[in-house]
Amino acid sequence: MRLKHFNIAFGEQVFKALADESRIRIISLILHNKEMCISDLEQVLDFTQTKTSRHLSYLRGAGLVTPRKIDQWVFYSLKEETADVLTQIYSYLERDPVLLKDQEIYRILFSNRELAVNKIQARRWMAP
């Protein structure tokens, strides 16, 4: 579902939500990775759990992100109807050094996690 009408009320919500560097960084990570867990956002951005939750709550209230809970983890993704607008806005920020560094940190974090999972699985197969 796409956003059919970008009106002043919705525009105000979007621009207020993006008026904070922390929220810009959070949305950027979610936009590039489709979905982000709160704990990953905390690690990548070096935020406390409280700060991360506060900003995600603001983004949820603005109608930009939606949560999905799996066991004790909460994953956030962009609301489908806002993805086009945010993709267009963020296309102007694609070379921002802070956002590029955040994405690189996440890539390394994810890579290390995959390596650890593979090592654990290999040990299970090798165990007598």
72-116: pLDDT as tens digits: 889 999 998 888 889 999 999 999 999 999 999 999 888 877 766
pLDDT in tens, 3-39: 566 788 888 889 999 999 999 999 999 999 999 999 9
Q: Which token pair is 33?
A: 């990775």
Domain that holds residue 62: 8-126
CA distance 95 to 67: 28
**How many domains, in total, are found in the chain?**
1
On whether residue 106 sits in a domain, the answer given is: yes
pTM: 0.84
Straight-line distance from the first to the last Cα atom of the chain, in angstroms, rounded to the nearest whole number: 52
What three-state secondary structure class fits 65?
strand
On whether residue 1 sits in a domain, the answer given is: no
